[in-house]
Amino acid sequence: MNEANRLGVMIQGINYQLEDLEKDIWIRLLNGALKSREAFHTTSIATIADGAISQRTVVLRKVLPAAKQLFFHTDTRSHKWLELAKNNNISALFYDAPARLQLRIQGKAVLHQNDAIAETAWQTTRLSSRRCYLTMAPPSSVSDQPTSGLTPEIEQEQFTLDESEMGKQNFGVVAINVGSIDWLWLHHAGHRRAHFNYQTNTFQWLIP
Ligand SMILES: Cc1cc2nc3c(=O)[nH]c(=O)nc-3n(C[C@H](O)[C@H](O)[C@H](O)COP(=O)(O)O)c2cc1C
């Protein structure tokens, strides 16, 4: 860390160093996974689909700050899962409007299905969320009418936890091994930007 990096960013009278901001990022991500009202509860995930970019919103389900990992759940029949199986490059975009904070995360995805990580996640998935994995036709199938793809019973949550086990075969957990984080904080007196690269282990200020 060179001397220039000792100059921090002043937020409400406190001088934050790059190392402080990096810790703050992971606290915010952790809060996002734990609390549904937090801005970082959802993220926009970008994948590469045959050379084109594809994005969608997902719920941040788990964060492991020490391992630098983020997790979300999805249907293993979905486009995103199949795209990630072909190309594990992934990007996650977060924006907290009240905090005026953007995170652009780059990483590599690891797909978990029928393993200990998927099993633990499935066990903690509530009945209402399990519904998502119970459509007969895979996500993105064309339908001749507007539909959830669920039977009326499942749609109205008239099924038991035992019956919901059918969904397990379609359930997957995507782990993102974070390679770098681009941090941008908007401020009327001048924006601030920092880059945290875990591959090269370099933390730097950038011009916004
Ligand atoms: C607020 C919100 C949260 C969502 N959370 C998830 C999620 O956690 N997992 C998921 O697979 N899809 C989630 N979706 C749906 C996806 O955005 C997407 O429409 C769907 O998964 C199909 O994407 P794909 O065709 O790229 O696979 C969510 C959508 C919204 C609007």
User: What CA–CA distance (Å, rounded) separates 37 from 8?
Assistant: 29
Residue 55 CB–ligand 1 contact under 6 Å: no
- What per-residue confidence (pLDDT) applies to 189? 86
Residue 42 CB–ligand 1 contact under 6 Å: yes
- Tell how far CA 172 is from the center of its chain: 14
Q: What's the CA-to-centroid distance between 56 and ligand 1, angstroms?
A: 6
List the domain boundaries for the chain. Answer: 9-123+176-206
- What per-residue confidence (pLDDT) applies to 15? 86
Q: Are strands 14-16 and 42-49 parallel, antiparallel or unpaired?
A: unpaired
The residue whose C-alpha atom lies closest to atom 26 belonging to ligand 1 is 80
The pTM of the full predicted model, rounded to 2 decimals, is: 0.95
Q: What's the CA-to-centroid distance between 11 and ligand 1, angstroms?
A: 34
Q: What's the CA-to-centroid distance between 208 and ligand 1, angstroms?
A: 30
- What per-residue confidence (pLDDT) applies to 3? 44
Residue 57 CB–ligand 1 contact under 6 Å: yes
Per-residue pLDDT of the chain (208 residues; tens, 9 = 90+): 444 447 788 877 888 899 999 999 999 999 999 999 999 999 999 999 999 999 999 999 999 999 999 999 999 999 999 999 999 999 999 999 999 999 999 999 999 999 999 999 999 999 889 999 999 999 999 999 999 999 999 988 888 888 899 999 999 999 999 999 999 999 988 999 999 999 999 999 999 9
Q: What's the CA-to-centroid distance between 21 and ligand 1, angstroms?
A: 29
- What per-residue confidence (pLDDT) applies to 180? 98
Burial 179-192 (b: 16+ CB within 10 A, else e): bbbbbbbeeeeeeb
The SS3 of residue 83 is: helix
Residue 73 CB–ligand 1 contact under 6 Å: yes
**What are residue 11's DSSP bridge partners?**
14
- What per-residue confidence (pLDDT) applies to 9? 87
Q: Which atom of ligand 1 is nearest to the CA of 72?
A: 8
**What are residue 16's DSSP bridge partners?**
9
Superfamily of domain 9-123+176-206: Electron Transport, Fmn-binding Protein; Chain A (2.30.110.10)
How many angstroms separate the Cα of 17 from the Cα of each of 7, 85, 88, 100? 7, 38, 32, 18
Best CA proximity match to 70, nearest among 176, 142, 150, 170: 176
